[in-house]
Copies of this chain bind each other. A is one copy, B any other.
Amino acid sequence: MINITLPDGAVRKYENGVSAFDIAKSISEGLARKIIAAQVNGEVWDISRPIQNDASLKLLTFIDNEGRTTFWHSSAHLMAEAVEQLYPGVKFWVGPAVDNGFYYDMDLGDHKLAEEDLQALEKKMNELARQNNKFERKEIRKEEAINYFTEKGDQYKLDLLQNLQDGEITFYSQGSFTDLCRGPHIPHTGLIKAIKLTNIAGAYWKGDEKNKQLIRVYGVTFPSQKEMDEHLAMLEEAKKRDHRKLGKELGIYTMDDDVGPGLPLWLPNGTIIIEELEKLAKETETDGGYKRVVTPHIAKENLYLTSGHLPYYEDSMYPPMELEGVKYYLKAMNCPHHHKIFAAEPKSYKDLPFRLAEYGTCYRYEQSGELFGLMRVRCLHMNDAHIYCTKEQFYEEFKAVNDMYRKYFKIFGIDKYVMRLSLHDPAKRGKKYVDEPELWKETELLVRDVLIKTETPFVEVQDEAAFYGPKIDVQIWSAIGREFTLATNQVDFAQGRSFNLSYTTANNQSDTPLIIHRAPLGTHERFIGFLLEHYAGKFPVWLAPVQVKLLPISDKYLDYAKTILQKLKKADIRAEIDDRNEKIGKKIRDTEMLKVPYMLVVGEKEMNEEKVAVRRQGKGVTGVQFVEEFINATRNEIMERKD
């Protein structure tokens, strides 16, 4: 018998060689029908694979990231099967799952695939899916694998085989199709109920433009048509809410070739949003007992050698500037500078927790091809802070950070979020992770403990920790259900030692503080990109670049509008007058386009009564109010940061 530990901590006993599917069935038949893969000791497995030793087990369905990834990876195999049946002789390169589906790169010889061909392919895939063909895993010797693909004449797979050894080669087959594949896969094709091939693109073999261009077909699949419909509707809506489109229309940011890729220039409207976010963060952090600091954007190489970012992180940094024989780097993170501030003056236990906050601007190198609007940039304005505390203070500090995240989620109407707890891989200590076995164990336990005790929704992932400690990535969903990775929250037991940070304990000993790295609002770049989509550009009043637009019906009421403008400005409400010589209907339409929350129409009646006719963006007239009344209500809405 072996012990199987389930995610809730329950331990069940099973026969040696039991499969995840058997275990699911032993729990519920309904569950067994839905599971598509299983996490065994943190690794994703086929559900039919026998478990031989004690293990932790998580059953995965389509709602789990890893389940979805498996589902889409299997769908790529299904597509390959369909392609092979329709285009015999096709050769395959790789076919992974991606963020929103999957693709497969293939060599169709002289055949040029057209959009029309996709329908036939979809049809064939549906046909094959309905055959409920099992995905069968087979371990295979290298020689045999080479023979198979030599016979098939697929030089791409033979190329892949070069880097593999006996013992690590597996084949997966379903129906008539067999692929070299590490797996895992879903149990059978019948789970794939809805199929959509979305795009055809060219892709150079191995990404090298000197190589042959392969055909890449993208697709997406779901366990039900309903989920497919929702997904496509969401994509349609996401297109309308594209932050790059809205960013331009609303004057939020611009990019410029002479400045460089991935380096947004924030226009006046975008800067207002930045400043409102910073104000919120500063208020929140001041209340939380943080102290603010300002540090330079560069530092000597030596600082990053001490921190260990060099050489670990070098590929993600801008190349150095060499000055007077010293290499200076643009900072890719603020922590080393903050550590230096911690160290600038001697500390005692009375100074802890010591919390340093900075909207620090960091620079990271992302490949040109990876850059995407505000979502993937090279310049990052980070809502950063570092908390230096004792182990005894860790729980409260970590909890306070968690509370801060939740406060922000509430303000921004973010209803769905998950904390993704990234743990290290013990096998990679000394390379990808600092070699401190005890500390890894201890801190991973501490972090998990906080998450469980605070009932924070979270998932665990292996081998994605920061190199200096476990980390939490916060995943949030926008109003239309798109997922964003936003912020991080990292524990650090390594840098305190590297920087010789210390404090005097109550017993007059010297000890090293634990460090929490946290950035609840992430970066301006990504967060404002998210907000543009989330609000579809219709920012709540407190964030709106222009909060109120005055629309005089004619020039006759311009002076009255100007007196109101002065009152609004005095009340710190961002307001403008549309003084164009246009009809009121056009003024309203244009202001609606600019997504200004409030429009105040003023004409004869309003002027005589010292009132304004209030229109809410997207909602039409909401009433006629005295000017002071409107100002008070709006001030209140702004102060409370109403959503």
Residues of chain A at the chain B interface (Cβ within 8 Å): 251, 254, 256-260, 263-268, 270-272, 274-275, 291-300, 302-303, 306, 318-324, 326, 328, 330, 336-337, 340-341, 344-345, 356, 361, 363, 365, 368, 379, 381
Q: Which residues of B contact A275 (CB under 8 A)?
A: 292
Quick one: which of B259, B318, B324, B326 contacts A321, CB cutoff 8 A? B318
Give Cα distance in the complex from A270 to B266, angstroms: 27
Nearest residue in B to A307 (C-beta to C-beta)?
B258
Q: Are B295 and A265 in contact (CB under 8 A)?
A: yes
Out of B272, B295, B318, which one reaches A266, CB within 8 Å?
B295
Q: Which residues of B contact A257 (CB under 8 A)?
A: 300
Q: Which residues of the other chain, B, contact A336 by a CB distance below 8 angstroms?
A: 258
Tell me the smallest distance from the CB of A121 to a CB of chain B, in Å: 37
Within the assembled complex, what's the spacing in Å between the Cα atoms of A303 and B270?
Answer: 22
A271 to B385 CA separation, bound complex (whole angstroms): 14
- CB atoms of A254 and B341 under 8 A apart: yes
Task: Give the shortest distance, in Å, between A299 (CB) and chain B (any CB).
Answer: 5
The answer to whether A363 and B297 touch (CB under 8 A), given A267-B344, A291-B268, A321-B321, is yes
Instruction: Let me know if A337 and B259 touch, CB within 8 A.
Output: yes
- Establish whether residues B320 and A293, one from each chain, have CB atoms under 8 Å apart when the complex forms: no
What are 21 residue pairs bridging A and B, where the CB atoms are less than 8 Å apart in the complex?
A256-B344, A258-B303, A258-B336, A259-B296, A259-B299, A259-B300, A259-B337, A263-B296, A263-B298, A265-B295, A265-B341, A266-B295, A271-B294, A274-B294, A296-B379, A298-B330, A298-B379, A318-B321, A318-B328, A319-B323, A324-B368
Closest 8 pairs between A and B when the two form their complex, measured CB to CB: A268-B291, A266-B294, A254-B344, A263-B296, A258-B303, A271-B292, A296-B379, A259-B299
What residues of chain B lie closer than 8 Å to A274, measured between beta carbons?
294
Chain B nearest Cβ from A230, distance in angstroms? 37
Closest to A524 in B: B294
Instruction: Check A292 against B272 for contact (C-beta < 8 Å).
Output: yes
CB-CB under 8 A from A363, the residues of chain B are 297-298
Nearest B residue (CB) for A356: B268
Q: Quick one: closest B residue to A286, CB to CB? A: B569
- Measured in the bound complex, the distance between the Cα atoms of B297 and A337 in whole Å is 17
Q: Indicate whether A330 sits within 8 Å of B321 (C-beta atoms), given known contacts A266-B295, A293-B267, A303-B259.
A: yes
Task: Give A381 to B295 CA distance when docked, in angstroms.
Answer: 11
List residues of chain B with CB within 8 A of the CB of A268: 291-293, 356
Q: Chain B: which residue is nearest A262 at the CB level?
A: B296
Given contacts A256-B340, A268-B291, A271-B291, 7 further A-B contacts (CB under 8 A): A254-B340, A254-B341, A258-B336, A259-B296, A260-B296, A265-B341, A270-B294
Complex: A251 Cα to B533 Cα, angstroms:
43
Give bound CA distance, A274 to B292, whole Å. Answer: 10
- How far apart are A614's CB and chain B's nearest CB, in angstroms? 25
